[in-house]
């Protein structure tokens, strides 16, 4: 898990992270899970949503790079998109701020690939 949008970050904001990789040999899909919260463990945070990124060419573990982009607008709407760098295969999710935490306390976390 890694912090992408730290607490008290001014919104709107766009953050891109391109240092995610496949975890297993011949992995063709990854699950992207998005969390909000202050905890260092997943169980201490609020699960916001998830999606599957498929279309990853089979390769040894850690050889396929994945870019994840977090785009939060001024209304607290978060679009999380992921792209396989080598193929351009993409998927995304839209997450509306449902009042889980105040906007100024938002901290977005994403788990590493499954």
76 dihedral zone (left: phi>0; alpha: psi -120 to 50; beta): left
Task: Write out the residue range of the structural domain in which residue 83 sits.
Answer: 2-110
pLDDT lower than 70: segments of the chain? 1, 97-114
In contact, 97 and 105? CB cutoff 8 Å: no
- Please give the tally of structural domains in the chain: 1
To which residue do tokens 């730290």 refer? 6
Return the pLDDT at 114. Answer: 39
CATH, residue 31: 2.60.34.10
Spatial distance between the Cα atoms of 38 and 52, rounded to a whole number of angstroms: 25
Return the pLDDT at 112. Answer: 44
Return the pLDDT at 113. Answer: 44
Q: What is the pTM of this model?
A: 0.82
């Amino acid at each position: 898990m890694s912090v992408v949008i730290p607490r008290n970050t001014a919104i709107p904001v766009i953050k891109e992270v391109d240092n995610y990789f496949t975890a297993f040999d011949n992995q063709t899909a990854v699950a992207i899970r998005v969390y909000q919260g202050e905890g260092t463990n997943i169980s201490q945070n609020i699960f916001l949503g998830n999606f599957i990124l498929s279309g990853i060419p089979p390769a040894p573990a850690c050889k396929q790079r994945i870019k994840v982009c977090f785009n939060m607008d001024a209304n607290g709407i978060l679009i999380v998109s992921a792209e396989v760098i080598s193929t351009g295969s993409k998927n995304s999710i839209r997450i509306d701020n449902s009042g889980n935490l105040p906007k100024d306390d938002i901290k977005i976390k994403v788990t590493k690939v499954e």
